[in-house]
Amino acid sequence: GAGVSQSPSNKVTEKGKDVELRCDPISGHTALYWYRQSLGQGLEFLIYFQGNSAPDKSGLPSDRFSAERTGGSVSTLTIQRTQQEDSAVYLCASSSLAGGGNEQFFGPGTRLTVL
Amino acid sequence: KNQVEQSPQSLIILEGKNCTLQCNYTVSPFSNLRWYKQDTGRGPVSLTIMTFSENTKSNGRYTATLDADTKQSSLHITASQLSDSASYICVVSAWEYSGGGADGLTFGKGTHLIIQP
């Protein structure tokens, strides 16, 4: 595809359930980022992958959150034992290189609602 | 601590009018500043990027300015259109980033702009 895609676009789950969010970056992009955007708030960095390097997990809010990136392409963000405060839009972005000088291309996001 | 502050938090203007959004930052050492536009239900899209040596950059009706001395940037929208209704996010990158979170990027909380007919 031409851009970053994410699935599902919307996810409603019950408190305590696990969820998986998927991100397909632009082909060839080596850097991949996950962000969380709560209503009325700015983007909150979660995790960053660059090539085959160990991911930067410094933004993950708790050990219930994890992410992996298989084969340097598709990434999955997993939230275990979801809580109501996890409700937010989860955005994925990719860029051709790491570093803030390189434009990040964002997906449309997954809106997660935890009941 | 690196911070990016945007103002106003929200703004409502009539179609055809001009407006200016502000971004103040304390990111150091500064590398570049980027303005993104985020339509409702969509991901952000880059409008402009400016490095230390650039003080103005245009993209159609959007003009960004940068004063690296005062650490301020503005985004000016000329002859606003209904399609300009969106959130505008200022993102500042630290130079020669070598560790830590978010790949050296600090995001503002955005300005929510509404254009009324």
Q: What is the pLDDT of residues B55-88, one digit of tens each?
A: 999 999 999 999 999 999 999 999 999 999 999 9
The answer to whether A46 faces chain B, any CB pair under 8 Å, is: no
For residue A100, pLDDT over 90 is answered with no
The answer to whether A1 faces chain B, any CB pair under 8 Å, is: no
> Whole-angstrom Cα distance, residue A39 to residue B40?
11
Give the confidence band of A98 by pLDDT, cuts at 50, 70, 90. Answer: low
Measured in angstroms, the CA of A90 and the nearest CA of chain B are apart by: 10
> Of the candidates B58, B76, B74, B68, which has an alpha carbon nearest to the alpha carbon of residue B31?
B68
Mean pLDDT for chain A? 91
Q: What is the pLDDT of residues B33-53, one digit of tens each?
A: 999 999 998 999 999 999 888
Cβ-based contacts under 8 A for chains A and B: 70
